[in-house]
Structure 1
C-alpha cells in the first residue's frame, strides 16, 4: 500500500446569461496524505474494457504490464512514485496513457477515502461503457465524466485527469487552461443533469512523485459528509478559473464509437429519490450481461491459482518489464462467480500495516508485490481479503 499527497478544493461556478459556466472559483480546503493501492489502480483500469466486445486477455495483460512498468517504483508504505526518466523519454501518447490510467486509479482511491465508497458488485460504472439501461437515463451524446460511483447517498460522477510535469514542486501554483476547461464543462454537465453530484481528481506525475488535486462542487451536504480526518494542513489558496474563450480549445469528453445514434429517452437525471431508484434498477438489469462477460473471461484465463471463500480463481502473475527491469508483478485473477453474500462487503483494511496490496472488485482480483519480496502464499491472500 502506498500514498499520495492530496490537495482538496471547493468550487463554485458562476453562470452567464446563456446558462453556461463563465467562471469557477476554487477555494482550497486543506492538504494531507491519502492511501492508494497499486493493486486497485490496476484493477480499475482492467475493468475499463468494453464488456460488449471481445475480451482479449493478451491486450489486457499487455496494458497492465506497460502501466506497471512506469508506476511500480515505490516501496510498501511509501508515497506512490513513477519512473519519471522513462516517462519523459516516452512519446506524448504513451505519457497520456500512463498519466490518465494513474488518474483513474487514484480517483477511485480518493472516492473510497473521502466518501467511503466501497468497491463491489453494482458500485462502479464507466460512462464510456455504460450498460444499456443506464444510457437510457444519462444519454449518450455530449460531454460526460469518466466514472459513476454508486454511494449510499446516491450516484456521484467522477472525472479523472492526469498529467506529467517537469517541475520539482509537487503542486502547481496556478490552474492550467486544461483544468479551467474541464471544470467549466463539469459544472455545465451537472447543471444539465439536475445538479448531479460530481468531483474531479487531477493527478500530477513529476520527478518528486505523484500528487492529486481534488475538486468538489459547492455542496454543503457533500462537503460536510466527507471524511476530513486525513487533512493535516488547512487551505489558503483561491483560484479564479475562467471558462475557456472561443479561441481556446474547448473541453470535450470521449464519446464511444457507435453510441451517438442510439435512441434513448430522457438523458436528464437529478439526484432525487426517484432518480436513485431508477439507477439502482438499471444497474440490476445489467448484472446478467456483466456476469456473462466475466464468465467468458474466466473460461479463457489460465489455470486455477486458488480459491476465495470456496470460489475458484483463475489468473496469472504479470511483470512490469516492458521498458526495463521489473520491480513489481501483479496477479490478475477472475473469480468463477461472485462471492457469497457473507463475504461481499469484507475486504482488507487499506491502511493496515503489514497487509498485502490486494484488491477485489466484484469478480476481478488483483494483488501487487515487489519482486524483492517473497510471492505471497494463497492462504495469506485470502486471509487479507476476507479478514479485514
Structure 2
C-alpha cells in the first residue's frame, strides 16, 4: 500500500495538493474480504436480490483473482480475453473489496451488524437525492457509535502490468468531486487498487486534516521490488503489495501514460478531462445531498437488513447449524476458467452473530482447515483459507478445496 494525503484551499474548499505521506508498506488482505464486500452490492433501483445470482457473481470474481499465500494476483491473460463489461465488473468489484480490506487491516476494525453499507444500496427515497454524475462515495463505515467514515473505491488493471509511478489527474478529479459530499456528511478516504500478475497495489488517499483515523503508517515495510521474470517463470512475490521498481511518488502527471489508457471504472464526469482540470467547470464545487449523516446511516442500515433477508430467503430451505445459528448457503467452484482448485462459500445466517461468536467461528475454521491441509505437499503456497463476515453474510474462500467442506463448518 502507498499512502497519499490531500490538502484543500479556498471557501468553498477546493482541492489543492496531493502528495505522498508514507513509504510503501504491506497489508494482510485475504481474497474472502475482497469477495464479501460485493455480496450486498445492488443497483440504485429497488431490484430484487437473489442468492443464486450473487453466488455466481462471486464465483466469477474468484475466477480472475488468485489468493496465493496471502498474495492476491490477477489472471491477466484470462482477463484480457474477456469482454469489456466483464473486465469492468472484475476491476470495480476488486476495488470495492480492497477498500474494505484496507479498512480492516489498517484500523484493526471488524465489521459488525450495521457497520458498513453500500451507498448504492440506500433506499430509493434517499438515493435519488444524490447527483447522477458520481458525487457520492461507495461505502459508509461506522467506526464507532456516531463516528462515520465514507470510502470511495476504484479498481484498475493497467496494461503495463504495474501501478502508476505518480499521482494522476484522474485521482485529483475524483477526490475533488467528493469534497462537497464529505463536508456535508463525514470524513472521506479514497483507494485505487491496481491488479497485476505479480500482486495488488493499493493507493490510499486521505485528507491532511480531519477525524479519519488514517494517519499511519500502517502494516510493515515493503520488501525490495520483486525481480523481473520471464513468461515461463512467473511466480507471485511473497507479499500482498508489490512496489514497482523506480517508483517516483513525488510528481503529478498531467495525462495518462499511453499504456494506461485501458479504463476499467465508470462514473467520472466526462467534462472533467485532463485538459479541463483547471477550468471553472472542473473547479466548481459539486452539489451534495444535505441529509444528516445519522439519518443517512439509519436508512442504510434498514435497507441492508432488507437485502440480507432477501438473500437468506432466496438461498433455499436447507440450512445447517453453525456457531449455534442457522446458516443457509452453498459452496461454489471459483475457477470457472480452467482445472485449478478453489471454492467459495456464500453463507447467510438467520440472524447476526456477535463479535465473540464470529471470533470463535473463525478460529475454529482455521484450525479445522489447517488440520486438513497437513496433507498438502510442502511448497504448496495456496492452502490458506480466508474468511470474512459482514452482518449476516459469511464468506469463506478455500483456494485448494475440491469439494464442499461442510464438515469444517457444522457444530
TM-score > 0.5, shorter chain as reference: yes
* Aligned-residue offset at 1:34: 0.9
Match of 2:337 among 316, 319, 323: 323
Q: Is the 8 A contact 1:335 1:363 kept in 2?
A: yes
* Aligned-residue offset at 1:43: 1.3
* Aligned-residue offset at 1:22: 5.2
* Aligned-residue offset at 1:306: 2.5
* Partners of 1:322 and 1:370 in 2: CA distance: 13
Match status 1:219 vs 2:209: yes
Q: Is the 8 A contact 2:166 2:248 kept in 1?
A: no
* Partners of 2:206 and 2:310 in 1: CA distance: 38
User: 1:256 matched to which residue of 2?
Assistant: none
CA change 1:241–1:268 in 2 (3 A) is: farther
* Partners of 1:237 and 1:341 in 2: CA distance: 39
Where is the strand percentage greater, Structure 1 or Structure 2? 1
RMSD of aligned Cα (Å): 3.5
Range 79-88 or range 316-325, more displaced: 316-325
Q: Is the 8 A contact 2:166 2:253 kept in 1?
A: no
User: 2:33 matched to which residue of 1?
Assistant: 40
CA change 1:108–1:298 in 2 (3 A) is: same
* Aligned-residue offset at 1:294: 2.9
Match of 1:28 among 16, 21, 24: 21
Structure 2 gap ranges (5+) = 224-246, 255-271, 283-287, 371-383
Match status 1:63 vs 2:57: yes
* Partners of 1:245 and 1:80 in 2: CA distance: 31
State the TM-score, normalizing by the size of structure 1: 0.76
Q: Is the 8 A contact 1:198 1:217 kept in 2?
A: yes
* Partners of 1:185 and 1:241 in 2: CA distance: 18
* Partners of 1:358 and 1:94 in 2: CA distance: 25
State the TM-score, normalizing by the size of structure 2: 0.72
Q: Count residues in correspondence.
A: 343
* Partners of 1:226 and 1:376 in 2: CA distance: 40
* Partners of 2:189 and 2:99 in 1: CA distance: 9
Structure 1 gap ranges (5+) = 1-5, 252-265, 270-274, 384-388
Match of 1:336 among 350, 355, 362: 350
Q: Is the 8 A contact 1:66 1:322 kept in 2?
A: yes
Q: Is the 8 A contact 2:36 2:395 kept in 1?
A: yes
